Structure 1
Amino acid sequence: MTGAFADVPDRLAPRPSPADRPPPEQEAAFGRPAAAVGGFADGRPTPPPRPVPPPPAEALLRAFGPKGTGERGLQEPPGGRPGRRRTAAGPWWKSDARSDPWRDPYAPAGLGAPAVYDEASRPGPVVVEPQDRTKLRVRDLSVRLSVLALLAVLLVGAIGGGAGWYLTKTNDETPLLAPGTQLSQVDPGITREPGSVSQIAESVMPSVVSIEVRVGQAGATGSGVVVDAENGYIVTNNHVVSGADGVEGAEIRAVFVDGSGSAARIVGRDPASDIAVLKVEKPGLVAASLGSSDDVVVGDPVVAIGSPLGLAGTVTSGIVSALERPVRLAGEGSDTNAVISAVQTDAPINPGNSGGALVDASGALIGINTAIASTGAGGSIGLGFAIPVDTMRDIAEQLIESGSAVHSSLGVNTRSVTDGTRDGALVLNVEPSSAAAAAGIREEDVVIAVEGERVGSSEELVVAVDAFQPGDTITVEVVRGGGSIELEATLDAA
């Protein structure tokens, strides 16, 4: 071959035969060891022969073995051929019965192929699923069994329906009316122990009245408590009756538990404590028993009685939730501007309860229901406030005696403040010639204590001052210029 492919070897030319022996490195890795002779499988140990089963027991041979020497299989039944039920055509005595391995005690045992169920040609009702779970195929159940069950259900239903129809048709209807019928009555089994809510309500209800106020075409309702039966004095809230005071044509009426009513006149009212006293001309009144504020503790059971939402004689119950709670009162359409040290209760109180009674477990009056805390809807949320009975007694006596009440005054306007560690009442202004001005209290002072008792808000300052009488001298601690000082103030009358 010439040209560019002259140097290319001919692939079709005869190739040299391989060497008789592999290269030394392959022979060392894969060759037969020098000491090995013959195949690698030579020299393996010969497995032991299979054990020969022992011959049958002599008793079995005598009972079931063949009589003749060299014979195999079972012998003929005693007496020769079998009886009437064992015929030559029977399955147990066919011509090849003697050589049947299942009947030959000398036949060797052997394992055969597992049994195979032809699911395609004859599917069964029980199916084996993967994971060896089985289920029953309803479609493979017997049709006859299903039909019989359905017929049985229909038969039972037909018999039951027919029996019911027959009984209803043959039974005569009872008369619609039964003259002279008397329902059975059980003997009274309810006992009302002293101190129960029902017993308290029964004893206090006659002393609680509903107050109806009408001014022109407008009207309002509240509650009141009879405190002097002989003279007809009734205590209520100032904001209940203040809108009718001095208004021509205004009418105030007290409605009692028996449904009778009587016109009421205003004896006196005190916007600074939200207390008012009315007088009615009606004999046979029942006065409430007045308790003491000092005997009330947090957790005591209480009952509130009044006319919430105009529903006279409504009774609710609860406990005393807190004492000496400063609450500011300022009602719309009223000149009430008061701060009271209230009794807090969770007994439900609603609009119309104002002026009603809050009594303890003995039925003694411990407060006059006055205000509620509300989320805006105006209903009870379990936060009601009452004027303590001692405060009510003091103000009512002054109103009955003179028509007005006197309070102590420091002569400052304040606002509640805090610096994160201490709370107090910030003095916004000081009235000229007042007790505070004479004591040297200045604007921007923060009052933190009165007579050693902590003051944490402007409401607490009003309550603390009102606890003293006009003319009393008290010690007022104020914070000024980063330090605190104590000042002496002689209270004025307001």
Structure 2
Amino acid sequence: MTERSEGSKGTAADRGNLRPPDAPVLGPRPVYRPHVDTHTARAFRRPTGLSGSFAEPLPRSSAQAASQDVQNRPPDAVLAEAFGRPAGSTELLQRDPDAADDTAPAAGPVDPWRDPTSAARLGAPAVPTPKSEPLPQAQRLSAREVLFGSRVAPKALALLAVVALAIGVLGGLVGRLTAEQASTLTSRKVTLEQAADPEQPHSQIAKVANAVLPAVVSIRVTVGENGATGSGVVIDGAGYIATNNHVVSMAAQDKTNKAAIQVQFSDGTRVPANIVGRDPKSDLAVLKVDVKNLTVAKLGKSNDVQVGDEVLAIGSPLGLSKTVTSGIVSALHRPVKLQGEGSDTNAVIDAVQTDASINPGNSGGALVDMEGRLIGINTAIRSETGGSVGLGFAIPVDRATEVAQTLIRDGKIHHPTLGVSLRSKVVANEQMSGAEVADVAPGGPAARAGIVEKDVIVKVGDREVTGPDELVVAVQSRRIGETVNVVLIRDGRQVDVSVTLESD
């Protein structure tokens, strides 16, 4: 054996073997063969003595294999005579339709069926086509021939015309007689008279409506392409109008200087208005217009209002100005929470409840008694469908007067506060219910009075508290700096504390 030099390339086997000489050699991987039970092996095994295919091989010799190859032999004489060309003929089945020589074959490179690049060609028709000849001139038909096909004689046509004329004359006579008969049912001599009794007195509702309507206005607020409508009440001859905060809050919050407020009076006069002041916590606002000789609403007193009193709601519901609806006072001191999308109103009012129909657009309008005195500012409805269902709420006139007077004087108003946060749900047991304190403001009136978290407030002054909304209106009915007795339940025991209310 000869030794290779260090630079020799070696054999192909050596060049392909890239394993290091000291690499470990692994043993063969074991082949896993699943176990085959005896019944399966007996059912699917080959018959005894058979080692290959189930079909037995057919023995044949090389001579037999050669004799079984396909042989090209001449066709039968009968087929050759039926389908072959005549003896000595070179004519093909295809012919060139444009060739001068009819015997020239069309097969080969010029065959349009075999050459994909050949152009389409049309040959002469198989049957000669006769030349078209002009149609003979048609004979003109008369009206009688067209209508009756020459089957009606001229005399019959004349008789038919006479009958048609007679029918027309008879129809005209009948129409004339019918018209004359009908004319006897109408008359120009009859004049209907309407009875008027100037001494007949109108109802009290009509008198009150006529007196109050000039003091109620329609308010339209626009900011760009957006708009809202509401109502208002003239409360002072200098041009001051009371309405709801949520009616004008869209204009008050506008930062683009595109807001406009327009007031329309009952006589159709329209004038611009400006916001004097507004109070989101009581949902009241005051507008100012530059108009003289205004009709001012007569202000009543909340203490004179009783459940069952007849009242009128006057405003512009659904944009329909000068609308009057009637009803009664159905409840007093009804706490109603007010919050609306697109408005910064966040108030709880001590409402006058009425069943007079109130709808969107009545907001800011007047609720008056049968003496024409303003007893409330219509503010809200409660409905599952959004329409009037006989549950309307108005801000009491005492509260509206107090807030409006302060806004006219100062342009803003402050409210008394207890300095606590309340849980939203009512806390109740078999004996009483109240408002549970969730948090106490550090250093606030409640904290200084010793009120702590989880205390349940059941009374403020002489007003019972049955829930969080009731507590809000009970506190707001007091004055800033007033000391009020608060009754609360702490660990099952009743505790009385004195709280001095502060400004918010």
Q: Which residue of 2 aligns with 1:62?
A: none
How far apart are 1:471 and its partner, in Å? 0.5
- Alignment counterpart, residue 445 of structure 1, candidates 451, 455, 458: 455
Q: Which residue of 2 aligns with 1:356?
A: 365
Contact 1:291/1:364, CA 8 A, preserved across alignment: yes
How far apart are 1:405 and its partner, in Å? 1.2
Distance 1:186 1:335 in 2: 55
Q: Which residue of 2 aligns with 1:172?
A: 181
1:241-290 per-residue CA deviation (whole Å, 9 max, x = no partner) reads 01101521100000000111000000000011001000001112100000
Alignment TM-score, normalising by the size of structure 2: 0.62
How far apart are 1:188 and its partner, in Å? 2.9
1:333-375 per-residue CA deviation (whole Å, 9 max, x = no partner) reads 1111111111000000000000000000000000000000111
Q: How many residues align?
A: 327
Distance 1:169 1:490, change over 3 A: closer
Contact 1:264/1:278, CA 8 A, preserved across alignment: yes
Distance 2:382 2:487 in 1: 31
Which structure 1 segments of 5+ residues have no match? 1-164
Distance 1:314 1:452 in 2: 39
Contact 1:192/1:198, CA 8 A, preserved across alignment: no
SS across alignment from 1:185 = coil
How far apart are 1:218 and its partner, in Å? 0.6
Distance 2:196 2:498 in 1: 71
Distance 1:177 1:245, change over 3 A: farther
How far apart are 1:182 and its partner, in Å? 4.3
Distance 2:264 2:300 in 1: 24
How far apart are 1:481 and its partner, in Å? 1.3
1:237 and 2:244 are equivalent in the alignment: yes
1:34-65 per-residue CA deviation (whole Å, 9 max, x = no partner) reads xxxxxxxxxxxxxxxxxxxxxxxxxxxxxxxx
Distance 2:392 2:490 in 1: 37
Q: Which residue of 2 aligns with 1:224?
A: 232
Alignment TM-score, normalising by the size of structure 1: 0.63
1:489 aligned partner, one-letter code: V
Distance 1:373 1:170, change over 3 A: closer
What's the RMSD between the two structures over aligned residues?
A: 2.2
SS across alignment from 1:258 = coil
Distance 2:488 2:359 in 1: 39
Distance 1:169 1:331, change over 3 A: closer
1:434-484 per-residue CA deviation (whole Å, 9 max, x = no partner) reads 111111111111001112432111111111111111111111111111211
Task: Provide runs of 4+ in structure 1 moved above 4 Å.
Answer: 168-171, 175-182
1:136-165 per-residue CA deviation (whole Å, 9 max, x = no partner) reads xxxxxxxxxxxxxxxxxxxxxxxxxxxxx9
- Alignment counterpart, residue 214 of structure 1, candidates 207, 222, 230: 222
Between the two proteins, what is the percent identity of the paired residues?
A: 53
Q: Which residue of 1 aligns with 2:36?
A: none
Q: Superposition pairs for residues 192-271 of structure 1, below 5 Å?
A: 192-193=201-202, 196-229=204-237, 231-247=238-254, 248-271=257-280
Distance 1:197 1:222, change over 3 A: same
SS across alignment from 1:487 = strand
How far apart are 1:417 and its partner, in Å? 1.4
Q: Which residue of 2 aligns with 1:425?
A: 435
Distance 1:242 1:477 in 2: 37
Contact 1:192/1:199, CA 8 A, preserved across alignment: no
Q: Which residue of 1 aligns with 2:124?
A: none
2:354 aligned partner, one-letter code: T
Q: Which residue of 2 aligns with 1:472?
A: 482
1:481 and 2:491 are equivalent in the alignment: yes
SS across alignment from 2:343 = coil
Distance 2:182 2:213 in 1: 51
How far apart are 1:180 and its partner, in Å? 8.6
Distance 1:282 1:170, change over 3 A: closer
Contact 1:439/1:489, CA 8 A, preserved across alignment: yes
1:295 and 2:304 are equivalent in the alignment: yes
SS across alignment from 2:183 = coil
How far apart are 1:421 and its partner, in Å? 2.9
Q: Superposition pairs for residues 100-115 of structure 1, below 5 Å?
A: none
Distance 1:235 1:249 in 2: 23
1:334 aligned partner, one-letter code: S
SS across alignment from 2:261 = strand
SS across alignment from 2:453 = coil
1:257 aligned partner, one-letter code: S
